[in-house]
């Protein structure tokens, strides 16, 4: 796997004579290699460009302790790697496993200071000085064989790169005439962008085209990636061994399996667990919900800058005066925000057939099991959106819509920032699901019939 992932390498090592054979081997495989000594790294100006693999001598300075070397390396990473370095892994030259553990513990403290590696493995350089570097790829692959995260994400990275290249080639090859290529591809991309947004051509702006052209390319990239052949479908292994782990307090190792079983310190929890253990499992579930909130928000919600002057299907607005629709709130759990979602059919929007904006009223409320159960019991709520955490929120939330609360207004009123504030837009998959649930609820005909 590593041979397909790596196309560039950075070697940080003061002993150039010891890595010259490695450099020759890598360059012979068509890999771009750069070598820096500790002094060269210290005097390098600006951030380094991405290298897929870094060979790093953990004893850069033999006159100081391993802990001092690690501290110095971390400072270099802040100044030379930075947060935009990209995806990479690290091979540490060391024969002391405890130094690798120390290195991992220290760099995990540097969250948001620089891009963290997908993997950190250790190899003993003395073995290669004795036997040569010819088997180093096999040794790296052996070290990575039990690292699920690294293997999966490297495969994903390679699939995306292949999909990206295929997408570019497929669009670029639509026009073979060099004289007309720029004009014709600009025309094609303009229509792709307009088709993505659905905005009428008479109302579209240049910056709208620019943004939506990239989004339409993302849709094509998604197809290109999903159609790639997956070469290793055995990574997940036995489903019984998949679990989420966390340490709660100093000595309580808690875990939840993929199938939903809970464990505390390796022991499966019975159905009638103690109140103390219920608190531990509650904290475990809270940590899992934090992760799921971030994932759900990224998958379903578009919080990027959106066009406030155009009322589009899927736009979600905060109702500034939360008391404005008090009559609808009596069956709701307590809410922190009253919101509206614009649900006009996309075809009416693109063809400018809508006379009024059609909206469904809803709310945002802090997540709790009790509120979740209240919402899930009512068949008139759209109840799929939990847990969610928008960028300005510090807690996990539930977003719901009352399918009975249909509101129509003219577009100018919805654009009035004194009454409504556009806060996000739901992505296409979520919008389609909301429309489908709304249509099913609205189409319940019922039947009047006498029974004995």
Can you give the residue ranges of every domain in the chain? 2-146, 158-226, 239-297, 304-442
Q: How confident is the model at residue 182 (pLDDT cuts 50, 70, 90)?
A: confident
Got the DSSP string for 41-98?
A: HHH--SPPPP-SEEEEETTS-TTS-HHHHHHHHHHHIIIII-TT--S-EEEEE-S-HH
The average pLDDT across 431-450 equals 82
Structure tokens, 224: 């290109």
CATH topology of domain 304-442: SH3 type barrels. (2.30.30)
- Using an 8 Å Cβ cutoff, are 96 and 123 in contact? no
Is residue 253 within 8 Å of 247, Cβ to Cβ?
yes
Task: Write out the CATH class of domain 2-146.
Answer: alpha beta
Instruction: For residue range 297-314, list pLDDT tens digits in order.
Output: 998 998 875 666 788 889
- If pLDDT is split at 50, 70 and 90, which confidence band does 148 have? confident
Straight-line distance from the first to the last Cα atom of the chain, in angstroms, rounded to the nearest whole number: 71
Question: What is the predicted pLDDT for the residue at 447?
Answer: 67
Whether 35 has a pLDDT exceeding 90, the answer reads yes
Instruction: Please indicate whether residue 443 or residue 256 has the higher confidence score (pLDDT).
Output: 256
Nearest to 1 by CA among 232, 233, 237: 232
What Å distances lie between residue 324 and 12, 159, 327, 328, 419, CA to CA?
63, 50, 9, 10, 9
**Pairing mode, strands 357-366 and 315-319:** unpaired
Tokens of 211: 């943004």
């Amino acid at each position: 796997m590593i041979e397909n992932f790596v196309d560039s390498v950075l070697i940080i090592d003061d002993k150039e004579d010891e890595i010259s054979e490695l450099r020759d081997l890598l360059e012979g495989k068509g890999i771009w290699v750069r070598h820096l000594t500790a002094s060269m790294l210290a005097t390098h100006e600006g951030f380094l460009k991405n290298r897929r693999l870094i060979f790093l001598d953990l004893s850069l300075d033999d006159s100081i302790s391993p802990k001092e070397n690690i501290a110095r390396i971390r400072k270099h990473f802040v100044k030379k790697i930075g947060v935009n370095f990209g995806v990479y892994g690290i091979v540490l030259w060391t024969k002391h496993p405890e130094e690798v553990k120390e290195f991992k513990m220290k760099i995990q403290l540097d969250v948001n200071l620089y891009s963290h590696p997908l993997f950190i493995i250790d190899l003993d350089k003395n073995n290669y000085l004795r036997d040569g570097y010819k088997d180093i790829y096999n040794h790296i692959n052996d070290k990575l064989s039990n690292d699920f995260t690294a293997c999966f994400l490297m495969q994903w990275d390679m699939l995306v790169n292949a999909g990206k290249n295929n997408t570019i080639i497929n669009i670029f090859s639509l026009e073979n005439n060099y004289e007309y290529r720029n004009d014709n591809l600009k025309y094609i991309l303009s229509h792709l962008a307009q088709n993505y947004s659905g905005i009428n051509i008479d109302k579209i702006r240049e910056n709208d085209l620019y943004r939506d052209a990239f989004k339409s390319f993302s849709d094509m990239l998604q197809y290109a990636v999903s159609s790639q052949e997956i070469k290793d479908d055995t990574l997940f292994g036995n489903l019984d061994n998949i679990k989420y782990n966390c340490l709660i307090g100093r000595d309580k190792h808690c875990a939840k399996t993929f199938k939903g079983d809970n464990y505390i310190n390796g022991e499966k929890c019975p159905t009638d667990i103690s109140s103390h253990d219920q608190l531990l499992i509650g904290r475990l579930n809270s940590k899992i919900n934090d992760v799921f909130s971030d994932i759900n928000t990224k998958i379903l919600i578009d919080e990027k800058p959106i066009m406030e002057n155009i009322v589009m299907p899927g736009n979600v607005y905060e109702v500034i005066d939360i008391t404005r629709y008090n009559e609808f709130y009596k069956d709701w759990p307590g809410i922190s925000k009253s919101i509206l979602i614009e649900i006009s059919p996309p075809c009416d929007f693109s063809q400018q057939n809508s006379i009024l904006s059609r909206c469904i009223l809803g709310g945002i409320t802090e997540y709790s099991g009790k509120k979740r159960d209240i919402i899930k019991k009512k068949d008139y709520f759209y109840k799929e959106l939990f847990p969610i955490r928008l960028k300005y929120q510090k807690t996990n939330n539930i977003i719901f819509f009352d399918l009975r609360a249909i509101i129509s207004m003219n577009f100018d009123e919805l654009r009035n920032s004194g009454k409504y504030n556009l806060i996000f837009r739901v992505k296409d998959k979520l919008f389609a699901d909301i429309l489908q649930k709304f249509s099913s609820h609205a189409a319940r005909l019922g039947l009047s019939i006498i029974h004995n």
